[in-house]
């Protein structure tokens, strides 16, 4: 702020503000924000799956596993309705895959369709039980391991 000094006593002090430094500072801040905001907001473009119920097509060669956690902390795994241990699960999965590949004409057969493993896990099942079953099925050679879930409440399921 500048004031006139001396001169006539009837003059009033000058009360104008020099806005040039203020405009300079604002322009510098604007440029900083224009440069900094895209750096701060980093996004990776992903296409996330929809959370809708997709009915599965059940084929006779697919494997259905049911997994529960026992109260003592152990895992109960069922191949269909038969209880199996983790070693039996691996051996049965390898045998199932070998039989299916042989039935379709060998590993180099055109149009070879491998069976899938469908896992039904109880809500209260510890993760290590389900993770162990997934690991065993992948070690056996199953390329597709999926989860069977219940549709959200209120959504109807069409029966064909």
Q: Is 83 part of any domain?
A: yes
Q: Is 29 part of any domain?
A: no
Mean pLDDT by 10 residues, the chain (160 residues): 57 80 92 80 54 66 88 88 91 93 86 87 84 93 83 56
Do the beta carbons of residue 117 and residue 130 sit within 8 Å?
no
β partners of residue 84: 77
Q: What is the pTM of this model?
A: 0.60
User: Among residues 144, 151, 125, 141, which one has the least CA distance to residue 66?
Assistant: 125
Per-position b or e across 145-159, b if 16+ CB within 10 A of its CB: beeeeeeeeeeeeee
Do the beta carbons of residue 127 and residue 70 sit within 8 Å?
no
Q: Is 132 part of any domain?
A: yes
What is the domain range of residue 141? Answer: 63-147
How confident is the model at residue 53, as a pLDDT? 58
In sequence order, which residues have a C-beta less than 8 Å from that of residue 83 and are 6 or more positions away? Answer: 76, 77
Q: Is 53 part of any domain?
A: no
CATH code: domain of residue 85: 3.30.420.270
How confident is the model at residue 89, as a pLDDT? 93
Q: Is 153 part of any domain?
A: no
Q: Is 78 part of any domain?
A: yes
β partners of residue 58: none
Q: Structurally, how many domains does the chain consist of?
A: 1
Q: Is 114 part of any domain?
A: yes
Q: Is 70 part of any domain?
A: yes
């Amino acid at each position: 702020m500048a004031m006139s000094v001396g001169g006539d006593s009837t003059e009033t002090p000058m009360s104008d503000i020099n806005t040039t430094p203020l405009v300079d500072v604002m322009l510098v801040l604007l440029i900083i924000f224009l440069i900094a905001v895209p750096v701060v907001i980093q996004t990776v473009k992903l296409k996330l799956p929809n959370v809708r119920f997709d009915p599965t097509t059940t084929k006779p060669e697919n494997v259905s596993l049911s997994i529960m956690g026992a109260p003592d902390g152990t895992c109960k795994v069922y191949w269909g309705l038969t209880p199996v241990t983790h070693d039996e699960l691996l051996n049965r999965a390898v045998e199932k895959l070998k039989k299916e590949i042989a039935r379709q004409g060998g590993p180099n057969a055109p149009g070879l369709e491998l069976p899938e493993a469908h896992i039904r896990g109880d809500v209260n099942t510890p993760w290590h039980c389900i993770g162990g079953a997934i690991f065993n099925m992948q070690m056996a050679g199953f390329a597709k391991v999926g989860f069977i879930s219940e549709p959200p409440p209120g959504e109807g399921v069409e029966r064909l």
